[in-house]
Amino acid sequence: MTKYIFITGGVMSGIGKGITSASIAKLFQFRNYKVNLIKIDPYLNIDPGTLNPIEHGEVFVTEEVWNFEPVPGWSFKISEIDQDFGTYERFLGKGMNMHPICNITSGQVYLSVLLKERYGEEYLGRTLQIIPHITDEIKARIRKVAEIFKPDILITEVGGTVGDIEGMPFLEALRQFKLEEMKENFALVHVTLVPNSLIGELKSKPTQHSVKKLLESGLQPDIIVGRSNIKLTIPIRKKISLYCNVPVEAVISNPDLKIIYELPLIFEKQGLGTYLVNLLRLPHRNSETEEWEKIIELYRNPRIILNIAMPGKYTSIVDSYVSINEALKHAGAYNHCGININWINTEKVEKDPSIMSDIMRNIDGILLTPGFGSRGVEGMIECAKFALHNDIPFLGICFGSQLLYIAYCRDILNKKTANTTEINPDTEFPVVDLLPEQKKIKQKGGTMRLGGHQIFLEKNTILYEAYKKEKIIERFRHRFHIIPKYIDNIKSSPKMIISAYDKNRRIVNAIELEGHPFCVGVQFHPEYKSRFDRPSPIYNLFIKKVLEYHKKKSILK
CA 327 to chain centre: 10
Taking the C-alpha atoms of residue 437 and residue 443, their distance in angstroms, rounded to an integer, is 13
Q: Are 546 and 393 in contact (CB under 8 A)?
A: yes
Q: 43: exposed, middle or buried (C-beta count within 10 Å: 0-12, 13-18, 19+)? A: middle
Looking only at the bridges linking them, the beta strands covering 304-312 and 251-255 are: unpaired
Map 53-76 to HEC letters.
HHHHCCEEEEEEEEEEEEECCEEE
User: DSSP state, 371?
Assistant: -
Contacts of 47 (CB under 8 A, 6+ apart): 76, 78, 80, 81, 100, 103, 105, 107, 108, 445, 446
Which residue in 56, 330, 478, 525 is the catalytic one?
Answer: 525
**Beta strands per DSSP E along 346-458:** 365-368, 394-397, 419-420, 430-434, 449-457
Say whether 398 is catalytic. Answer: yes
d(CA 404, CA 342): 19
User: Do 336 and 303 meet the contact criterion of CB atoms below 8 Å apart?
Assistant: yes
Separation in Å, CA 303 to CA 181, 269, 309, 338, 360: 51, 28, 20, 7, 22
Contact at 8 Å (CB) between 454 and 473? Answer: yes
Q: How many residues does the chain have?
A: 557
Q: Which residues contact 297 (CB under 8 A, 6 or more apart)?
A: none
Catalytic-role residue among 102, 337, 398, 519: 398
Catalytic entry in 157, 190, 527, 550:
527
* Annotated catalytic residue 330: no
Q: Tell me the DSSP string of 157-225.
A: EE-S-TT-GGGHHHHHHHHHHHHHS-GGGEEEEEEEE-PBPTTS-B--HHHHHHHHHHHHTT---SEEE
Cis peptide bond upstream of 132, omega within 30: yes
Q: Is 176 exposed, middle or buried (0-12, 13-18, 19+ CB in 10 A)?
A: middle
In the residue annotation, 201 being an active-site residue is answered as: no
Give one word for 369, left, alpha or beta, with left for phi > 0 and alpha for psi -120 to 50.
Answer: beta
The C-alpha atoms of residue 460 and residue 499 are separated, in whole angstroms, by 9
Q: Positive or negative, the Cα torsion across 164, 99, 26, 152?
A: positive
Catalytic residues: 398, 525, 527
